[in-house]
Chains A and B, each alone.
Chain A
């Protein structure tokens, strides 16, 4: 079955630095991968989607890469701010198709002043 791994340890970085989060997957070749942000006690919010034939996607301070050979996606936040502190989830399309997603456990990011 699909397996998605995200660093379970919290990532602490200083304001202004670039945060890099990793998503690794096995036993599957997804057609696309999505990144979501989740704040405590709230539902996830969609950030970016990248397709298997895309190497990189950008949106404002966010950048996502997708390496289908390494089976890995990297999520970057440049010029990080304390407001970026949250848990970031990666999600893959499920083998069942449609809009069904399988989520990773998420990585908590803390941006300190």
Chain B
């Protein structure tokens, strides 16, 4: 089945530094990947849609200059949290559709727990 690998699984960084999170589709090509953020006991909130070869589309209220997304190839998307602050501490999860067709189920990575001290 379609596998999405996310790295790192957890990271602790100091306030003001930047952190990069990688999301790879291992056995399929993903023209579109999605980045979500999840706070404890809350739902997944879509942050942005990452499109291979073009700019990401950000959801309302998500700062594009703070959460930089790069989708350089059909199997890799990266999310960089720039100048991280404690309020950015959260669980970040990426996903990709196994097929390009509408309503295809999403395959999720195992998430990255970011803690900003």
Contacts and interface: CB of A to CB of B under 8 A. Distances in A.
Contacts of A45: 108
A102 interface: yes
Interface in A80-113: 89, 93-94, 97-106
A32 B46 contact: no
Grouping DSSP codes into helix (H, G, I), strand (E, B) and loop, the B interface class, with mixed when no group exceeds half, is strand
B89 to A, nearest CB: 14
Contact of B111 (A36, A42, A89, A105): A42
Interface stretch (B11-19, B66-74, B75-83, B96-104): B96-104
B46 A100 contact: yes
A28 interface: no
A99 B107 contact: no
A93 to B, nearest CB: 6
B110 A43 contact: yes
B51 to A, nearest CB: 10
B106 interface: yes
A11 to B, nearest CB: 15
B46 A102 contact: yes
A3 to B, nearest CB: 11
12 contacts: A32-B103, A34-B105, A41-B91, A43-B93, A51-B103, A89-B44, A101-B106, A102-B46, A103-B36, A105-B42, A105-B43, A106-B43
The 7 closest A-B pairs by CB, nearest first: A43-B108, A46-B105, A99-B97, A105-B43, A103-B44, A103-B43, A32-B103
